[in-house]
Amino acid sequence: MVFTENGVAMLSSVLSSEQAVQVNISIMRIFTKLRSFLLLENDLKHRMDKIESNSNHLFKVVFERLDDLDERLSPALSPRRKKIGLE
């Protein structure tokens, strides 16, 4: 069976046995841990998105500079050169 956090809180007001109280306390602690894990996951997702956007920009700059270097370092070919392969 599955309970919501509010359902567990309402159930604890109805049930009064020692075992029911201990089970409700355990379930409420689990809800608290789940909530903290969710917050941690959202924080990690935000941090990863930020890293990804920064790295995308960095890679773009690196590849643009590599292209510029390639253009400057590659030998200029004669426009009258004989092409190899099929046209």
pTM of the model: 0.43
- Over residues 37-63, the pLDDT tens digits come to 888 888 888 888 888 888 888 888 899
Residues 3-39: tens digit of each pLDDT: 677 777 777 777 778 887 788 888 888 888 888 888 8
Q: Residue 81, class by beta-carbon neighbours within 10 Å (0-12 exposed, 13-18 middle, 19+ buried)?
A: exposed
How many residues comprise the chain?
87
* Residue extents of the structural domains in the chain: 5-72
